């Protein structure tokens, strides 16, 4: 029998097994998570809203259903919390902004509806960088903090998701990723984050930041859980014009730990040129681990990687279209970064925007060529460790959004520019103090999330980085 205090710390896969076998009730799990949230959220600031009563009611409903023989699958009775940018019917959806702090949607976003149909239990809404437009620092509700060290950012913009998962407040979350906002928190917080292929998961009901770059993805503590979540989230949605009709494969079939003969591409240009030495070491060791398990390591090159810098321009222009009315009418309710980025975009021309979209075509061609040479491509998830929320001096501010360094942003932005799927996994920790997570990022060909799950699962079967937890 698992102690209730341990329940919040189990993965969704482990919890599902206990629920299915009748060893534990969804109500006990939800109570355990709520207790941990109430204890730790004051210091982490991961949750903006906690929907305690609703969660307990949902858990009791799941309990009745399961006892009655209606088991909906591996998410039935499992707690989760979305980034507070997903519309939730009857529950306020703040977007991390004072400007929309009181918005209560009368509809659910498609992904929330699908998780609800699968029996998942929502515990509340998670903190984020205001309107998802930055690295997790500027929220109308204050920044979320990294459980590995509270002085550091958990990454953003899905900052609350990173913090809540790492601190074991919840086993599952969903985030959005326009330039890396699922994968940065995964790297900085030591969790798993997946950005699926553009069009694979519906974005209906998610407050947009950039229509052509926005993605929705699962955030978890294990690859198994990410595959399980994507299985439920993925699929055509007529409410999202970019949603694709392609059949959704059985992702769990990829979880077999056999990667013999699988080709792991390692870029010879750019990605390993500017990362911190301890990050390089950890990522190289992870690639060696995959080779030891039978994968074939091959060199690849992305000739146009520098063109990914056009992603910033695309994002700002599209964000300006979305937020310009708000910036004009309620600037006093917005954090400085939203105002600044929207105002700046006015000075970009239509030619600049189309030029950036043409650069994107070249990157897509690069990626198509790469995935004819390999099955997945491995790079450092971020070339830098998590940054301090309140740096001692501007020079020590390593927030990549502030530094504006293309090398940092382009590791993740490549996937938003091309639409290719990418997963981020923990693969080590910094040496000395503070102990901060290091992540590896794997890219795959369009709609080949299965290869990411296959490699990720194999790696987590052979290592224990994902099982290490912060001292909270």
Q: Which positions are catalytic?
A: 83, 157, 181
- Map the footprint of other proteins across residues 345-404, applying CB under 8 A: 346-348, 352, 354-362, 364, 404
Strand intervals (E) in 22-181:
47-50, 79-82, 121-122, 124-126, 172-177
**Residues 164, 46 contacting (CB under 8 angstroms):** yes
Nearest to 422 by CA among 156, 130, 182, 260: 182
> Could you give the CA distance from residue 85 to residue 109 in angstroms, rounded to a whole number?
10
**Shorter beta-carbon distance to other proteins: residue 20 or 304:** 304
H-run or E-run covering 60 = helix 52-67
The mark string for 169-198 relative to other proteins (x by CB under 8 A, - otherwise) is -----------------------------x
Q: Least Å distance between CB 61 and other proteins?
A: 35
- Map the footprint of other proteins across residues 293-322, applying CB under 8 A: 303-304, 306-307, 309-310, 312-313
- Map the footprint of other proteins across residues 203-232, applying CB under 8 A: 212
- Map the footprint of other proteins across residues 236-255, applying CB under 8 A: 238, 241-242
Nearest to 184 by CA among 238, 230, 137: 137
H helical segments located in 256-349:
277-292, 310-329, 336-345
Binds other proteins (CB under 8 A): choice among 247, 330, 344, 462: 344
Q: Least Å distance between CB 341 and other proteins?
A: 9
**Shorter beta-carbon distance to other proteins: residue 401 or 454:** 401
**Shorter beta-carbon distance to other proteins: residue 102 or 347:** 347
Give the range of 17-25, 95-103, 146-154, 336-344 binding other proteins by CB under 8 A.
336-344
Give the range of 1-9, 39-47, 201-209, 342-350 binding other proteins by CB under 8 A.
342-350
With CB under 8 A as the rule, give the number of residues binding other proteins. 33
The mark string for 259-298 relative to other proteins (x by CB under 8 A, - otherwise) is ----------------------------------------
- Map the footprint of other proteins across residues 110-129, applying CB under 8 A: none
In degrees to the nearest 10, what's the CA dihedral of 427, 232, 416, 266?
A: 40
> Could you give the CA distance from residue 401 to residue 234 in angstroms, rounded to a whole number?
30
- Strand partners of residue 149: 146
Sheet holding 121-122, edge to edge: 121-122, 79-82, 172-177, 215-220, 192-195, 422-429, 437-444, 376-380, 263-267, 296-300
**Shorter beta-carbon distance to other proteins: residue 95 or 197:** 197
**Residues 219, 162 contacting (CB under 8 angstroms):** yes
Give the range of 126-134, 151-159, 234-242, 275-283 binding other proteins by CB under 8 A.
234-242
**Shorter beta-carbon distance to other proteins: residue 71 or 353:** 353
Q: Least Å distance between CB 28 and other proteins?
A: 45
CA torsion through residues 378, 450, 254, 426, sign: positive
- Map the footprint of other proteins across residues 409-448, applying CB under 8 A: 419
DSSP string, 320-347: HHHHHHHHHH-GGGS-HHHHHHHHHHTT
**Interface ranges with other proteins (CB under 8 A):** 198, 212, 238, 241-242, 303-304, 306-307, 309-310, 312-313, 340, 343-344, 346-348, 352, 354-362, 364, 404, 406, 419
């Amino acid at each position: 029998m698992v102690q209730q205090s341990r329940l919040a710390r189990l993965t969704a896969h482990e919890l599902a097994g206990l629920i299915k076998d009748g060893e534990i009730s969804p109500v006990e799990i939800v109570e355990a998570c709520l207790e941990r949230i109430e204890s730790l959220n004051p210091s982490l600031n991961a949750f903006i809203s906690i929907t305690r009563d609703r969660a307990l009611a949902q858990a009791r409903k799941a309990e009745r259903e399961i006892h009655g023989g209606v088991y909906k699958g591996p998410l039935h009775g499992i707690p989760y919390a979305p980034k507070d940018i997903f519309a939730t019917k009857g529950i306020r959806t703040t977007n991390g902004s004072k400007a929309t702090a009181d918005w209560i949607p009368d509809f659910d976003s498609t992904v929330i509806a699908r998780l609800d149909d699968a029996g998942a239990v929502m515990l509340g809404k998670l903190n984020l960088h205001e309107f998802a437009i930055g690295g997790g620092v500027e929220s109308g509700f204050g920044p979320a903090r990294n459980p590995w060290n509270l002085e550091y950012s958990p990454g953003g913009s899905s900052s609350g998701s990173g913090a809540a998962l790492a601190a074991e407040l919840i086993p599952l979350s969903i985030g959005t990723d326009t330039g890396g906002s699922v994968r940065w928190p995964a790297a900085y917080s030591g969790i798993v984050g997946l950005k699926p292929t553009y069009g694979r998961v519906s974005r209906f009901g998610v407050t947009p930041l950039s229509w052509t770059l926005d993605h929705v993805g699962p955030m978890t503590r294990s690859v198994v859980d990410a595959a399980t979540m994507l299985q439920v989230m993925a699929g055509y949605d007529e409410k999202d014009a970019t949603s694709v009709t392609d059949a959704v494969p059985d992702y769990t079939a990829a979880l077999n730990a056999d990667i013999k003969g699988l080709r792991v591409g390692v870029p010879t240009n750019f990605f390993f040129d500017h990362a911190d030495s301890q990050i390089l070491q950890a990522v190289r060791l992870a690639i060696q681990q995959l080779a030891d398990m039978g994968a074939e390591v091959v060199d690849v090159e992305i000739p146009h990687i520098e063109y990914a810098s056009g992603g910033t321009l695309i994002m700002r222009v599209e964000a300006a279209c979305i937020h310009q009315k708000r910036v004009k009418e309620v600037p006093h309710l917005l954090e400085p970064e939203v105002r600044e980025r929207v105002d700046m975009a006015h000075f970009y021309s239509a030619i600049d925007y189309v030029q950036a979209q043409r650069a994107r075509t070249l990157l897509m061609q690069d990626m198509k060529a790469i995935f004819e040479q390999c099955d997945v491509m491995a790079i450092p998830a971020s070339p830098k460790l998590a940054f301090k929320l309140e740096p001692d001096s501007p020079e020590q501010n390593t927030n990549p959004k502030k530094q504006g360094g293309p090398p940092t942003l382009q590791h993740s932005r490549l996937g938003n520019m091309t639409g290719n799927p990418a997963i981020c996994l923990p693969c080590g920790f910094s040496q000395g103090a503070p102990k901060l997570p290091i992540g590896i990022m794997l890219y795959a060909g369009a709609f080949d999330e299965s290869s990411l799950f296959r490699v990720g699962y194999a790696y987590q079967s052979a290592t224990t980085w994902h099982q290490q937890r912060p001292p909270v």
